[in-house]
Amino acid sequence: MTASAAPSQPSFEALLARIAALHPKRIDLSLDRMLGLMERLDHPERKLPPVIHVAGTNGKGSTIAYLRAILEAAGLKVHVFTSPYLVRINECYRLGGRLVGDDELRETFEHCERVNAGNPITIFEMETAVAFALFAKHPADVALLEVGLGGRLDSTNVVEAPLASVIAPVSMDHMEFLGDRLTDIAGEKAAIIKRKVPVISAEQAPEAMAVIEAQASRMRAPLHAAGQQWHVSIERGRLVYQDERGLMDLAAPKLFGRHQFDNAGLAIATLRAIDAFKLNMSAYEAGIVCAEWPARMQRLAAGALVAQGPQGSEIWLDGGHNAEGGRVAAAALGDLEERVSRPLVVIAGMMANKDADAFLANFAGLTRHIIAVPVPGRDNGMAPDRLADAARALGMRVEIAGGVDAALQRLATLAYEVPPRILITGSLYLAGPVLAANGTPPA
């Protein structure tokens, strides 16, 4: 993702609007503007702590959450740059375990804006430059960088020599920028691989893995691929990881869903592939069970929005927005249904450039009740009517509501023999306002 998931807090609105006006195109993939700004800033990207660089279509953020939790459990100081934010822009920047403060963040943005001197720059490029400026100023043991979109021309790809290049699962998304074939998209992601730097890959479709293998070979980068050099599985509800160095039997991840075992495995494989790290088992165990990543199958147990829904209902929030994201969320719901059966209602809002048919098809076997809502504050959100048409074509019962609050209030008027399970999903740009309205923003 390359844009923020909710409007900025008031103290940053004017500043970010000024920066956005310098290059109005929301997405314009290029390294030229970023390289120019890095030179004017005296190359903070060369002064970072050792970097782990993470690309992929789905699972990047969760993998980074596990990496951070494991490293911090080992007593290391970790900086993190991720995007988009959900409620406050500060969420993009963690300095040694804490979110950056308002004053320091504003000062750094203003410094980068002055140095940029009115040259064209996208908002995400400026956000990345701010991360580099912050991380170069504060010593740490590791910096975790999430690719915004693609990899080859992503602004984070100016880092020349990371500790490791990580590729989470690659699937179809952002085709208008990355290409309409999986091999094209995989090529964009694999372009973060640097010469002789270890590359760690999640399990991929064969055609995507072939592209990653070829790029790793060209760059003489040691490849550690899921299903080949390392394996992760679920056994008796526990995470079992195995590579040539041995077997690890760990507790299940705190983050919910079968896919989170794979994301955790990718983080473990990454840290075991880096010679500089010698972490003990307790750090892996603590990190896996403590990692948090908001709006990824997150249970909303209390809050202002939750109180408006049917009494006794389960409410889950997931920012999935493409076919693969829908698949893993639906699989998680299937697991919940096996444990405790409840009627399922999906409240969905999506961006206009997403494939609603492919996303919603994942839920066709689980529910016949969809409520389509707009994405708040987003002119490029999908019209609820269009989303509703996609659901009707799948044979689902469809309603349209003015927002998530109105949808929950509507559900509260219905008679259920068993309180329902409600999933709010379709976009991180919807998830952010939901967390804000519920009074449970990320911390």
Going by C-beta distance under 8 Å and a sequence separation of 6 or more, which residues neighbour residue 314? 299, 336, 342, 419, 420, 421, 422
Give the mean pLDDT of 88-104: 96
pLDDT tens sequence across 390-407:
999 999 999 999 999 999
Q: Report residue 6's pLDDT band, with 50, 70 and 90 as the boundaries.
A: very low
What's the pLDDT at 4? Answer: 43
Give the mean pLDDT of 355-373: 94
Whether residue 186 is predicted with pLDDT greater than 80 in this model: the reply is yes
Mean pLDDT, the chain, as a whole number? 94
Domains defined for the chain, CATH in brackets: 10-290 (3.40.1190.10), 298-438 (3.90.190.20)
Give the dihedral sign, CA 183/185/186/190: positive
Give the mean pLDDT of 196-200: 98
What's the pLDDT at 80? Answer: 98
pLDDT tens sequence across 134-180:
999 999 999 999 999 999 999 999 999 999 999 999 987 777 778 88
Going by C-beta distance under 8 Å and a sequence separation of 6 or more, which residues neighbour residue 423? 316, 317, 318, 329, 333, 344, 345, 346, 347, 363
Whether residue 320 is predicted with pLDDT greater than 70 in this model: the reply is yes
The residue among 107, 108, 119, 81 whose CA lies nearest residue 2 is: 81
Give the span between the Cα atoms of 264 and 327, in whole angstroms: 18
Q: Report residue 300's pLDDT band, with 50, 70 and 90 as the boundaries.
A: very high
Q: Report residue 26's pLDDT band, with 50, 70 and 90 as the boundaries.
A: low
Give the mean pLDDT of 196-224: 98
Give the predicted TM-score (pTM) of the model. Answer: 0.93
pLDDT tens sequence across 372-390:
999 999 989 999 999 999 9
pLDDT tens sequence across 222-240:
999 999 999 999 999 999 9
Instruction: Provide the residue type at 176 as one letter.
Output: E
Give the span between the Cα atoms of 51 and 350, in whole angstroms: 33
Whether residue 8 is predicted with pLDDT greater than 50 in this model: the reply is no
